[in-house]
Amino acid sequence: EATLDLAERRRIRSAIRELQRQELERDEEALASKRFRPERGSHRQDNKENWLQSQQLEEEQQKALASLARELESITDVEELTKLLRAASEYEERKLIRAAIRKLRAKEIEAATLAGNVQSSR
């Protein structure tokens, strides 16, 4: 505001924007480095104590997911899979069910395409 030259004002505003952008980048870098900083202190001890328990829990979850995957392979109705999807609460379960739905729909589309090709060739 101290200068009347419009070109100089534009340069000043541009310089201010550039400084603000650099400051934002520095802040983002600082946040990122804090976010991925390794754990220290008592957390390590807790992790050592709970490691076995967490490993067992993870193995149980993997077994449950494998069982669910086998069960989903036997289901051939999209409506039934959709009901299961709505009832599921765990992310991994929902992910498996959505994949089964996509696979089933792809089979249906492929069957319809093959049926259409057979009819058109006659």
pLDDT tens digit string along 96-118? 899 999 999 998 888 888 888 87
Q: Give me the number of domains the chain comprises.
A: 1
Residue 42 lies in a domain: no
Return the pLDDT at 35.
Answer: 64
Instruction: Please determine, for residue 42, whether its predicted confidence score (pLDDT) is greater than 80.
Output: no
- Predicted TM-score (pTM) of the model is 0.51
Q: What are phi and psi of 36, to 5 degrees?
A: -105, 20
Residue 99 lies in a domain: yes
Residue 39 lies in a domain: no
Identify the domain containing residue 97 by its residue range. 6-33+63-120
Residue 21 lies in a domain: yes
Residue 51 lies in a domain: no
Instruction: Please determine, for residue 1, whether its predicted confidence score (pLDDT) is greater than 60.
Output: yes
Residue 97, number of CB atoms within 10 A of its CB: 22
Instruction: Please determine, for residue 44, whether its predicted confidence score (pLDDT) is greater than 60.
Output: no
Residue 40 lies in a domain: no
Return the pLDDT at 36.
Answer: 60
Residue 43 lies in a domain: no
Percentage of the chain lying above the pLDDT 90 cut: 18
Q: In b/e form, how buried is each residue of 11-50, taking b as 16+ CB within 10 angstroms?
A: eeeeeeeeeeeeeeeeeeeeeeeeeeeeeeeeeeeeeeee
Residue 96 lies in a domain: yes
